[in-house]
Amino acid sequence: MSGKESPVPLLKDGKRHDGRGPMDLRPIEMKIGILHNADGSAWLKIGKTEVVAAVYGPREPPMKGMVLPDRAVIRCRYHMAPFSTEERKNPAPSRREIELSKVIREALEATILTHLFPRTVIDVFVEVIQADGGTRTAAITAASLALADAGIPMRGLVAGVAVGKVQGKLVLDIDELEDMYGEADMPVAGIPTLNKIVLLQLNGVIEPHEFPQALKMAWEGIKKIHALQKKVLATKYGGEQ
């Protein structure tokens, strides 16, 4: 979306610059319970993007005044490590990170059954270790796994993926390069078990008639990621099956 030419052709003979087809996700790896001190934690790697999520709570509020009488307060911090990008990123929270923290929090608020824990606080921390596009959707996917690991009641697992448009064609799970030189980036996150969307953003330009197709593609990707999330969780407790 920078208007400049991409250094490599983004789409050539139906293949993307990294050899994927339009509907292919990057390779995904997930782990849960990686942090000892957190109540729940998860690590997720999708392509070169790598995030760690930690969940604490429900716990007593650090300050009395911040709680709500009827439900738990969710606090979310999305943060990019200084070494996560090509050039050093200032570790102080940027405008973008504060905004992403908010949209991730709102996406998670839609799934967590907050009314069960009045007067408490649930803390979600997401640290981006390596950024290569799709960090917000990776953050949501990892955070929902960490919430499940912490045993916090949820309506369902949340998974997210971005759809982009490069050289006039819709593609699934765009990376940094496609985001930078493509025409559009549309992150979507949802609860596949309930068929509900919890996050939908659009950056760039897509035609109105392309939107249903883009959403359908994202949903296909979300379903695949959700299946992986379930597999990771089931493996951890596999001894009980």
Partner 1 sequence: MKQQTEPQRKLVLPGDVVAKGNYTINPKSVMYLYKIDDTIYAAVVGLVEINDNVVTLIPLEGTYIPRPGDIVIGLVENFVITHWQVDINAPYIGILHVSNLLGRPYNPAKDNLKEYLDIGDYIVARIDSFDRTKDPILDVQGKGLGRITEGKIVEIKPSRVPRVIGKKKSMLNVIKGDTGCDIVVGANGRIWIKCPNKDLEDIVTLAIKLIEREAFTSGLTEKVRVLIATEKHERGLI
Please report, as ranges, the residues that interact with partner 1 according to CB under 8 A: 39-40, 57-60, 69, 113, 116-120, 148-157, 191-194, 230, 233-234, 236-241
Name the residue nearer to partner 1 (CB basis): 80 or 158: 158
* Minimum distance, C-beta of residue 177 to partner 1, in the bound complex (Å): 34
Q: How far is CA 47 from CA 51, 78, 122, 157, in A?
A: 11, 19, 29, 21
40: left (phi over 0), alpha (psi -120 to 50) or beta: beta
CA distance 12 to 1: 19
Q: Identity (one letter) of the amino acid at 216?
A: K
* Minimum distance, C-beta of residue 62 to partner 1, in the bound complex (Å): 12
Name the residue nearer to partner 1 (CB basis): 8 or 194: 194
Name the residue nearer to partner 1 (CB basis): 117 or 181: 117
Strands 73-80 and 121-130: parallel
Tell me how far apart the terminal alpha carbons of the chain are, to the nearest angstrom: 48
Question: How many other C-beta atoms are found inside a 10 Å radius of the C-beta of residue 234?
Answer: 11
CA distance 76 to 187: 18
Name the residue nearer to partner 1 (CB basis): 139 or 148: 148
- Burial class for 216, CB neighbours closer than 10 Å (0-12, 13-18, 19+): exposed
Name the residue nearer to partner 1 (CB basis): 66 or 194: 194
* Minimum distance, C-beta of residue 114 to partner 1, in the bound complex (Å): 12
* Minimum distance, C-beta of residue 48 to partner 1, in the bound complex (Å): 28
* Minimum distance, C-beta of residue 109 to partner 1, in the bound complex (Å): 15
Token digits of residue 159: 């998974």
* Minimum distance, C-beta of residue 152 to partner 1, in the bound complex (Å): 7
CA-based nearest residue to 80, from 103, 60, 100: 100
